[in-house]
Chain A
Amino acid sequence: MNGIKILLITGVAFIAVYFFIRLRNSLLDILLLLVLIAAAIVFILFPDITNQLANKLGVGRGADLVFYTSIIIFWFVILKLYARIRKLEQLLTSILRNKAIEEAQEKTPK
């Protein structure tokens, strides 16, 4: 095992621990996370697998394949986060709105 593999696996391990502490709410999330971690570790230990996969899909190198898929995953994550932000914004808006309306002091023209 060479240096980069140890470094990457340590990184994945830290992320895994962090996520397991944070999201213990849904079984689906945990399963998905387990699959992703397992895939990450397998690919780190046996980078040749990615090369074979890449060749089958018509991509030159395994590293490129990983790069392309991560771009798609990142876009997906960004959209999910944005949807979350919109929801929060709508919640915040309705809270502020109700408070504002409650506190309004009605004045009619004299």
Chain B
Amino acid sequence: MTNAFVTIIIPCFNEGPVLRQVVAELVNEKKYTIILVDDGSVVPAQSLIGDLPVTIIRHIANLGQGAALQTGFEYVKKLPADYVITFDADGQHAPSDIQQLLAPLQDGRADIALGSRFLIKGQQNAPLTKKWVLHAGRLVNYFFSGLYLSDSHNGLRAFTKAAIEKIALKENRMAHATEILYAIRKHKLRHIEVPVTINYTFYSKSKGQSVFNSIRIFFDLVLHKIFE
């Protein structure tokens, strides 16, 4: 079976130092259509990786990761894609995990596969504060969406095209992770968690979500409940 119709969406904002390496690794797999959503980076991604066979969609201003993902989703709807992968641009995901995420979708066991860094024993190399934040995130997600997942904010996910059609992210910033769970519940999408590795480099840690940011996510969720 060919992978020609697997599309990878990479949201990106100021990932200059690692962007080229991350994208090139995926390009080298030679079986994916790659869409990079440049969310208003100061140095346009076009000038960094314009030579690679990657479709670049650029927001002229920074809107947030949720907005970038949704832009990618809207774009993909017009393509002949069967499966859609979301992949962070900061180099924390392993391209080799993509096949594991796709497997349950291709077998028809699930509509959405969510990457989880906590399903592999002994592979808990997350920094301690990060772990606490993610544990708190699980509870918050459970509280808001009723779904208890082992990893609340993992950027590596796989969707079927049909699932993408049902997702409309309105939260521009990081609260979109919970919005995906809302969509899962609302449309009764079958989801599965798949163990993935996270590569905590100095770079990805410095770009990652801080404790303060998670408080902001919480308020975004509360306001989402009030206004939507």
Contacts and interface: CB of A to CB of B under 8 A. Distances in A.
A86 B74 CA distance: 20
A109 interface: yes
B55 A105 contact: yes
Contact of B57 (A90, A93, A104, A109): A104
A4 interface: no
Interface stretch (A22-30, A46-54, A95-103): A95-103
Nearest to B63: A93
Interface stretch (B26-34, B116-124, B202-210): B26-34
Interface in A55-110: 79, 82-83, 86, 89-90, 92-93, 96-97, 99-101, 103-110
Contacts of A104: 55-58, 75
A100 B53 contact: no
B227 interface: yes
Interface string B71-83: 1001100000000
A96 B59 contact: yes
Which label, helix, strand, loop or mixed, suits the secondary structure of the A interface? helix
A105 to B, nearest CB: 7
Contacts of B55: 104-108
Contacts of B75: 101, 104
Contacts of B30: 109
B63 A96 contact: yes
Contacts of B56: 104-105
Contact of B74 (A90, A97, A99, A108): A97
Given A105-B55, A106-B55, A110-B53, A99 B223 contact: no
B145 interface: no
Nearest to A98: B74
Contact of A100 (B60, B223, B227): B60
B172 A93 contact: yes
A103 B33 CA distance: 18
A97 B168 CA distance: 13
Interface of B: 27, 30-34, 37, 53-61, 63, 67, 70-71, 74-75, 170, 172, 223, 226-227
13 contacts: A93-B63, A96-B61, A97-B71, A100-B37, A100-B71, A103-B57, A104-B56, A107-B53, A107-B55, A108-B33, A108-B55, A109-B32, A109-B53
What 8 pairs between A and B have smallest CB-CB spacing? A104-B57, A97-B71, A100-B57, A107-B53, A96-B59, A107-B55, A109-B53, A93-B67
